[in-house]
Amino acid sequence: MTYLKMSLENLRRRRYRTLFTITAIGIAIALMVLLTSVSLGLKENSAASGSIDFWVVPADSDILDPVLGSGQTMLGDVHSEIETLFLDPRVKGASPVLNRVVYAYTNDPNKTSVVLATGVIPGAIDVMPAAASGFKGGDPYFFGGRWTDEAVINRQMADLLGLDVGDRLNLDISTGIFASPKGFKVVNVIDTVDYSGIPVIVIHLSELQYITGNLEGDRADQILVEGPDAGPLLEKLYPDHLVLSGSEYTTFKIVSDKRILATAAATALVSFILGMLFIGTTMVMSVSELEGDMAVMSAIGISRISILKSVFYESLFLSAGGGLTGVLLAVVGNMFLNNMLTRVIGLNVSPAIEPMLLIGGFTVSVGAGIFTGIMVALLMKRPDMTRAF
């Protein structure tokens, strides 16, 4: 189409201005994605990693429930629920997950550290930390078996308490005269960036349930499910709870935490405004420079709507280019940010960027381009015929 070719030709002829505008938009979008990613990363240190297809969470749960220890927004009878899930061939793996803040110490109970404990059913799903080596499979204590006292810790916790494989430590939900600690033996140390943000200890689900008072009622925070075709089954089994896919779970994490939501909204708004300013400035300059060409087009019978379309598409191309540049910069910047934070402060607070964030960044950029293109086209004056001669 004529207006498409004209838009691309205008961008090519002013390649340096086009490159500057696309780069500027890309930087704004990349910063938006990275800031939101870091906010999510601060919440993700206890999350399972791997091929999780669905999360089942209580409908009224909050992302901070595991930290606050709320017992009002939890799933119940989770062991029997897992047994039911495994009867269906669409389910490849599943495990309840319980996260709670606990006190940990080695020999001196007066020197305790606050850590995050995660309870899982080892071997029930092929994702970390349930797939960590060293555990006995299943959850024997829940079914009347012996207390396993097995624990897998991350490198940060190992450094915090000076622990290694074979060492023992104690966990408790409280300190002082009400303390009733349970002992555990370290069977493995996870040394990956996925578990390098905060001190984390992973134990059998029923043993953490016992420590935290959730064994009665068999409660957990969520259920992880592996199986891309298990969605309809989960919707049927959990009509009163949320069944979330990967992108939906990312949205849930953002919306359920007001601080993350505020960060995402603020950065998106700033990026949208910056995109409008850069695109608008470029388009005003382009329209001014091409006023003579547009007058000629009008004089030879090219309709005004075609001229307006060329302006709109030029804005759209700029925003799409800026969005793609922002996505690439965010991916590269995330790797650099992970490396820098790990080297400087010893923490990995920025996880691998969620695809939903990249899609959101691109959408913000294109949205700014569409809005600006429409505004410039509507405000553009009719071509001055005297400029054609």
pLDDT tens for the chain, residues 1 to 389: 555 666 677 777 777 888 888 888 888 888 888 777 766 665 554 455 456 888 888 877 654 444 444 445 788 899 998 998 999 999 998 999 998 888 898 877 667 888 889 999 998 988 888 888 889 888 999 998 899 999 999 888 888 888 899 999 989 887 765 567 788 999 999 876 566 567 889 999 999 999 988 998 999 988 999 888 888 898 888 888 888 876 666 666 665 556 666 767 777 788 888 888 888 787 777 666 555 555 555 555 555 566 677 778 888 888 888 889 988 888 888 777 666 655 554 555 555 567 777 888 888 888 888 888 788 777 665 544 444 44
- Report the distance separating Cα 310 and Cα 294, nearest Å: 10
User: Any bridge partners for residue 200, and if so which?
Assistant: 116
Structure tokens at 267: 């950065």
Nearest to 21 by CA among 332, 365, 298, 361: 365
Structure tokens at 179: 């303390």
- Report the distance separating Cα 114 and Cα 388, nearest Å: 76
So what's the pLDDT on residue 44? 52
Burial 153-176 (b: 16+ CB within 10 A, else e): bbbbbbebbebeeebebbbbbeee
Distances (CA, A) of 12 to 9, 19, 273, 321: 5, 10, 25, 13
DSSP state of 242: E
So what's the pLDDT on residue 185? 93
Domains of the chain, residue spans: 2-42+260-388, 54-256
Does residue 58 have a cis bond before it (omega within 30 degrees)?
A: no
So what's the pLDDT on residue 142? 92
Q: At what angle do helices 246-256 and 355-379 cross, to 10 degrees?
A: 80
Cβ 279 vs Cβ 313: under 8 Å: no
Q: Is 133 exposed, middle or buried (0-12, 13-18, 19+ CB in 10 A)?
A: exposed
Alpha helices in the chain (DSSP H): 2-13, 15-41, 65-68, 78-85, 155-161, 205-212, 231-237, 246-256, 258-289, 291-299, 304-345, 355-379
**In 3-state terms, the chain is what percent helix, strand and coil (to 5)?**
55, 15, 30
So what's the pLDDT on residue 201? 92
Burial 228-266 (b: 16+ CB within 10 A, else e): eebbebbeebbeebbbbeeeebbbbbbebbeebeebbee
